[in-house]
Amino acid sequence: MTGPEGARGDVRPDVPVAGLGPGLAFLAATVSARAVVEVGTGSGWGGLWLLRGMAPDGVLTSIDVDPEQQRAARRTFLDAGYGPSRLRLIVGMAVEVLPRLTDGGYDLVVVDGLRTEYPRHLVEAIRLLRPGGVLALHGVAEPTGDGPEAAALRQTLDLVRDDERLVPVLLPLGEGLLCATRRG
């Protein structure tokens, strides 16, 4: 398995790829994702991996506050062969956009945005997930220090650990990928 077009073109096609990207594709494929929310579009790299693992008719809803990032990501997705019917790119603050999305309407919610907002994103992500859906929060491995980001990450980890609706696991991918399945 090689990476999405342009992501890891140097990889031999017969060698599995390790890392965060393939982990995202794996999660999407595991839940046969048809509806995915991504907080933090960035360059589109993560979205490409998600699309790769999703069902062929699945739709990626990706939220980012930066319109330039959204435009660049749209071009990346289209250049990789993912048509407009597979994409729902929303420019805005995730804390304002997530509450407007459909309860229980998503198979996978991936959060890689502003770390200080993770506790708020978690509440919305759980609401958005269908039973059996998966939540993935990136960048949670080492919330050390006294700053607001570390405090928010520690709070998020505690909330996930204590929520009986979730079955969590911390995976050593990227900067730590906290995944949790929503019980049905």
Q: For the residues of 103-120, what is the DSSP string, one character each?
A: TT-EEEEEE-S-GGGHHH
Torsion sign across C-alpha atoms 136, 138, 143, 149: negative
**What pLDDT, on a 0 to 100 scale, did the predictor assign at position 10?**
42
177: number of Cβ within 10 Å: 22
**What pLDDT, on a 0 to 100 scale, did the predictor assign at position 130?**
98
* Pairing status of strand 59-64 against strand 166-171: unpaired
Strand, coil or helix: what is 8? coil
Residue 111: which of 101, 120, 102, 103 has the closest Cα?
120
Distance CA 129, CA 27 (A): 14
**What pLDDT, on a 0 to 100 scale, did the predictor assign at position 17?**
62
Range list of H helices, the chain: 20-30, 45-53, 67-79, 94-97, 118-128, 148-162
Q: What pTM does this model have?
A: 0.91
In degrees, to the nearest 5, what angle opens at C-alpha 51 toward C-alphas 46 and 56? 175
CB 139 within 8 A of CB 114: no
CB 179 within 8 A of CB 173: no
Kindly give the confidence (pLDDT) of every residue in the chain, 184 residues in length, as a single tens digit, with 9 standing for 90 and above: 344 544 444 444 455 567 999 999 999 999 999 999 999 999 999 999 999 999 999 999 999 999 999 999 999 999 999 999 999 999 999 999 999 999 999 999 999 999 999 999 999 999 999 999 999 999 998 888 899 999 999 999 999 999 999 999 999 999 999 999 999 8
User: Token pair of 117, please?
Assistant: 């907002």
Question: In this structure, which CATH number among 3.30.930.10, 3.90.1150.10, 1.10.540.10, 3.40.50.150 belongs to the domain 20-182?
Answer: 3.40.50.150
**What pLDDT, on a 0 to 100 scale, did the predictor assign at position 33?**
99
Strand, coil or helix: what is 1? coil
